[in-house]
Amino acid sequence: MPRTRTPKPSATLPPLDRGFFARDPRRVARQLLGKILVHELPKAQLTARIVEVEAYLGQEDPAAHAAAGRTLRNAVLFGPPGHAYVYFIYGNHYCLNVSCEPEGQAGCVLFRAAEPLSGIEEMADSRGIVISGPKDLLQLTSGPGRLCQAFGITRERDNGRDLTLSASTLWIGDDGFSPRHVVATPRVGITKAADHPLRYLVDGNPFVSRKLRPK
DNA sequence: ATATCGATTATCT
DNA sequence: GATAATCGATATG
């Protein structure tokens, strides 16, 4: 039975500012671990602590959507940092990224998994899951598609949204917590540049999207 | 436990 | 026309 291993967020939860995102995506990715994804709904506040992310480097990264330059779809990546890049994949799922680096450079971080903290019932509804035990929480936000579904994130509504403003409804908060142990592995589900260790996870956290392969 | 596969569509070649 | 930064279901050991 999985245990919550991180403290609850404090009452005040300032959003990360634009400067936080205006850096190398590898640095941003690592430091996003432990931060809190927030979605304010009329009746509830959805929050989850980020436990797994991936860095995409921009035009020099063959696996990045920005690899072939600016298009209609990836335009947000070339804009200012701290904005949501949401894309639709496999005909089924949305994935949430945040743009990084100064305007003109297309690096980003993909949100892959989080540990639910509040708004659990609403997340379960959105996911179409009935929570009957602690293990069911693991299905809520463990995976980029699941995370978006639990939070109600879509391309139509959220692509381009400024994630540095709490007025945006969707933002990233910092309660001062940072995880003790972080590990890096190759990124999931890509074929090009598949060998670089640009996937960052909180070591041992049960809410990551895949268990670490024991060696 | 791991492996394979179908769903379903926007985007790019 | 092929592919894709996925998920959930099914098959098999």
- How many residues make up chain A in this entry? 215
Q: pLDDT band at residue A181, thresholds of 50, 70 and 90?
A: very high
Is the pLDDT reported for residue A213 higher than 70?
Answer: no
In chain A, alpha helices (H) = 18-21, 25-32, 120-127, 144-151, 155-158
pLDDT at A211: 57
Is the pLDDT reported for residue A6 higher than 60?
Answer: no
Is the pLDDT higher at A212 or at A45?
A45
Is the pLDDT reported for residue A195 higher than 70?
Answer: yes
Q: Which amino acid is at A147?
A: L
Strand partners, A142: A113
C1' of C10 to CA of A37 (Å) = 34
Structural domains in chain A, sorted by start: 14-202 (3.10.300.10)
Beta A36-40 vs A170-173: how paired, if at all? antiparallel
Q: Is the CB of A10 under 7 A from strand B?
A: no
What does the alpha-carbon distance between residue A107 and residue A89 come to, in Å, rounded to a whole number? 19
Question: What are the distances in angstroms from CA A189 to CA A86, A90, A202?
Answer: 17, 12, 19
Burial A175-184 (b: 16+ CB within 10 A, else e): beeebeebeb
| Protein-nucleic contacts, chain A 103-122 to strand C, CB < 7 Å | 108, 110
Is the pLDDT reported for residue A214 higher than 80?
Answer: no
Q: Is the CB of A124 under 7 A from strand C?
A: no
First to last CA, chain A: 24
Question: What are the distances in angstroms from CA A111 to CA A95, A120, A157, A215?
Answer: 8, 18, 17, 26
C1' of B3 to CA of A31 (Å) = 35
Per residue in A80-91, pLDDT (tens digit) is 999 999 999 999
Tell whether pTM > 0.75: yes
Q: pLDDT band at residue A210, thresholds of 50, 70 and 90?
A: confident
Nucleotides of C under 7 A from a protein CB: 3-8
Question: What average pLDDT does the structure give for chain A?
Answer: 93
Q: pLDDT band at residue A11, thresholds of 50, 70 and 90?
A: low
What does the alpha-carbon distance between residue A117 and residue A7 come to, in Å, rounded to a whole number? 9
pLDDT at A186: 95
